[in-house]
Structure 1
Amino acid sequence: MENLRVEEAIEQLLMYTKAVQEAETVSLLSANGRILAEDMKAERDNPPFDRAPVDGYACKAEDLAGALPEKQVTLKVIREVDAGEYFDGTVQHGEAVRIMTGAAIPAGCNCCVRQENTDYGEDTVQIYKSMEQWEDYCFQGEDFKKGTVLLKKGTKLSFIEIGILASMGVAEVPVIRRARVAVLTTGDEVMKPGEELKLGKIYDCNQSLLAARLMDFGAELTRIDKIPDNPQDMAEAVREAAEVSDLIITTGAVSVGKKDIMHEVVRILGAQRIFWRLEMKPGMPTLFSVYEGTPMLSLSGNPFGAAVSVDLLIRPMIQKLTQDDTLRPVRKKCTLTNDFGKSVGGRRYVRAVTDGETVTIPTKIHSNGILSTMAGCNCLIEMQKGKTGSHAGEEAEVLLL
């Protein structure tokens, strides 16, 4: 298949992408950002006892009838209970227990009086306010009851869910294994950042760009490597990567030049070629193949093309692999604040900045080989084929990054 529309390409990509089924158990803090592999059910009530929500005195509401600032009620203080302590006695009429927030309320009490409404007494306490039964009183299981499913399988864990799991007493969490992705770049003209740049060479930005974005998506990088412009070398790298990866991403060497080796690599591997070329700019010379069940998406070597493709094409694949619904693309209709004069021969994606209501296109170079002008951009504008230009005030289709 050649010259597919973006929607058709994504359909093919997802058809050959299989959701990760394997689960693993990780420590509580390591589970942040991961996807639950099973329902999480409470094994006990929380709180596990009736609990004081205030600093003050636990007592019987009946003993406080008619209490006012000018008509105090005096109770005998029989014990102090701090948070973490437990008093197994029973409070009788005319008695009170000095209590701190979070402490277990002793038997016989049905309210807690805030210390601000008392004289802070130690042996006896004068109380200036009447109370209703169960006022300022937290019941056992008020947060959740034993047997309640608190978090469903497929939930993405954030700091809130981590806190809930901690309150359940969970120290290790069953989560879906991360998507394993290899990033292989090719091009004898590129060098690794940190190396002394030689004449005729450029630094490889695609590798770092793709790796960083894949980590944003929660992927585990199985291999990050630059391979020489040699079909046999790249084929061997793909073979090795396929043994440990759910997805292989390559950049460069997908067009029709002398050094565009990926077509030959597919032939050497005996991989199934699914499509080549898309009706989109940048990223038109995209090649998709499957090697022994492992999908391999080969992207253009243009930096902006790689930046567009990672969100437009790779993101849905990672979403399916990880079952992470937060990775689903988010699109909005926004109002353009400035003009963009270039005509659109095919569907085009333009870097831009949005505040959620309006969208602005940077007035700088928009070449596919230029990445620097994407700094600060948080979206792409999708322009449809045949459009002769865009103008301020028009509605634009925006893909949030």
Structure 2
Amino acid sequence: MGTEFLKIKELEEAIEIIEELFKNSYKNQSEEISLEESVHRVIFNDVEAKIDFPPFNRALKDGYAIKAEDSFKSSPQDPKSLKIIDSIEAGIYSSKTIEKGQAIEISTGAPIPEGSDAIAMVEHTERYGEHVNLLVGVTPNTDIAFKGSDIKKGDLILKKGNILSPGKIGALKAQGLEKIEVFKKPKIGIISTGNELVVDKKDFKFSKIYDVNSYSLKSAIQISGGEGEILAIVKDNYDELKEEIKKGLEKYDILLSSGGTSAGRGDILIEVLNDLGEVYIHGISIKPGKPTIVGKIDSKLVIGLPGNPVAALIVYSTLISPHVRKLSGLKESMKSKVKKFPLNSRLHSSKGRAQYFLVKIQDKKIYPIIKDSGAITSLAIADGYIKVPKEKELLEEGEMLRFYEF
């Protein structure tokens, strides 16, 4: 006989317990990383400009730096002619000062020379040897980006919590930054338990199945902003599992173990957790996902997820992912991924338990995928899931439901 579920909780109570455990066990931490490795990372502190940008007055167009007044009333019929005294490309500057009747040839991005207050675009000029004819008049400040016009030193560039995109990384690099302080990703170790699990083809034979949960959970952790690593497949053996958990706790912030959580003979995670630490939840009143264990060893959480792949992924997505996201600096929920659609057909739910259904969205309607929680194909075709409260036993066709996208 296996042990009974000792600490089964209603879903709402389980959510509160898990939230309190994360709150008391973990704090947001930061690390400094190079900009080139920072895409999709979350900024830990506000970032202020270190320099004005642009750092000098610069040309916005190829052409000639001039005094605007020298171009007044210029036209193709009556062009004004200026003497060219120098040429400037981006990255160099001229020490010469433009006087009345003079011009300096200039490239986009080059510093504006002293004495100039406008750029005459090359398309609106004609050059003859060392002179240029202005075919169009320009006003002061034409095609000049002034120092600090984009951002001034001390101005806020990016806020804490911003996710670094290529554009944001470019803005930081324009400030001369090489590194940036970001939220440190929680490191999560993944253990799968079960005598039936294999990874290599050579071990696959009758009565065996491939380990699915390790790989789907690792992907889910990455999407949550965490850093997941597959540690091992452990047989249904107390000593092996205990040793793997002790090793994992030395390196990882959180451990996830899938399988070995229900009340069967081979389910020994509860024994290991009771011996090494404390169990706070042994069973949650949800379907799928009832055999979920939440324990704590010293200051770290060890969470036992069901062996069934659908159940494991749903429990992680609904109960664990929000806290991993928070530690990673992301918003706890993904509201943009939650939408409402009508139900395609009548749907029966379990009495007395909150139930999650994998669903497909087709023609802007919800199509529940009615398969057991061990059906791998349901994961392949599902777009996300819906949640049915425990007090609801029947949902009618056309009822509007919240759809949670994976």
Normalised TM-score (structure 1): 0.92
What residue is the counterpart of 2:376 in the other structure? 371
Aligned to 2:159: 152
1:304-354 CA-to-partner distances (Å, cap 9, x unmatched) read 0112122111211202322322x5232634222521533332222122244
User: Who is 1:265 aligned against?
Assistant: 272
1:183 pairs with 2:173: no
Provide the residue aligned with 2:3 in structure 1. none
Task: State which of 303, 307, 320 in structure 1 corresponds to 2:309.
Answer: 303
Preserved CA contact (<8 Å) 1:182 1:223: yes
Alignment match, 1:398: 403
- Conserved 8 A contact 2:339-2:404: no
Q: In the superposition, relative to structure 1, how do residues 336 and 371 fare at CA in structure 2: closer, same or farther (>3 Å)?
A: farther
1:54 corresponds in structure 2 to 61
Please state if 1:276 is matched with 2:282. Answer: yes
Letter in 1 for 2:319: L
Task: Give the length in aligned residue pairs.
Answer: 397
- Partner residue of 2:259? 252
- Three-state SS of the structure 1 residue aligned to 2:220 is helix
Query: Aligned in 2, Cα 1:82/1:194: closer, same or farther, shift over 3 Å?
Result: farther
Q: Give the direction of change, closer, same or farther, for the CA distance of 1:124–1:80 in structure 2 (3 Å limit).
A: same
Q: Given residue 386 of structure 2, which amino acid in structure 1 is its aligned partner?
A: I
1:349 pairs, out of 341, 348, 356, with: 356
Structure 2 match to 1:358: 364
**Residue 312 (str. 1) matches residue 332 (str. 2):** no
- Please tell me whether the aligned partners of residues 33 and 181 of structure 2 are also in contact (alpha carbons under 8 angstroms): yes
Contact 1:247 1:295 in 2 (8 A): yes
Is 1:106 matched with 2:88? no
The 5 A counterparts of 1:69-84 are 69-84=76-91
Aligned partners of 1:206 and 1:306 also within 8 Å: yes
DSSP 3-state at the match of 1:209: helix
Q: Which runs of 4+ in 1 moved over 6 A?
A: none
| Alignment-mate amino acid for residue 40 of structure 1 | V
Q: What is the aligned counterpart of 2:20 among 10, 15, 30?
A: 15
Q: Tell me the secondary structure at the aligned position of residue 200 of structure 1.
A: coil
1:68 aligns with 2:69: no
Residue 210 of structure 1 aligns to a residue whose secondary structure is helix
Does structure 1 retain, via aligned residues, the 8 Å contact 2:291–2:306?
yes
Partner of 1:294: 300
Counterpart of 2:284, as a letter, is: L
Give CA-to-partner distance per residue, 1:178-218, whole Å, 9 cap, x none.
Answer: 21111111000111144441211111100111112212223
Distance 1:316 1:129, change over 3 A: same
1:168 aligns with 2:181: no
Q: Partner of 1:229 in structure 2? A: 236
What amino acid sits opposite 1:228 in the alignment?
K
Amino acid of the residue matched to residue 98 of structure 2?
Answer: V
Distance change >3 Å, CA 194–CA 34, structure 1 → 2: farther
Offset at 1:274?
1.0
Q: 1:183 & 1:69 partners in 2: Cα distance?
A: 75
Using the TM superposition, give the Cα deviation of residue 168 of structure 1 relative to its aligned residue in structure 2, in angstroms.
0.9
Q: Which runs of 5 or more residues in structure 1 are unaligned?
A: none
Aligned-partner residue type, residue 64 of structure 1: S
Closer, same or farther in 2 for the Cα pair 1:120/1:299, shift >3 Å?
farther
- Counterpart residue type for residue 300 of structure 2: T
* TM-superposed deviation, 1:121: 4.8
Deviates more, 1:9-18 or 1:43-52: 9-18
Matched, 1:324 2:324: no
Q: Residues 235-265 of structure 1, C-alpha deviation per residue, up to 9 Å, x if partnerless?
A: 2211111122211111111111101111111
- Secondary structure of 1:375's match? helix
Q: Aligned in 2, Cα 1:222/1:374: closer, same or farther, shift over 3 Å?
A: closer
Once the two structures are superposed, residues 155-192 of structure 1 have per-residue CA deviations (whole angstroms, 9 ceiling, x without a partner) of 32222221111111111222232211111110001111
Match of 2:136 among 129, 140, 149: 129
Q: What TM-score, normalized by structure 2, do the two folds share?
A: 0.91
User: Contact (CA 8 Å) 2:196, 2:207: kept in 1 or not?
Assistant: yes
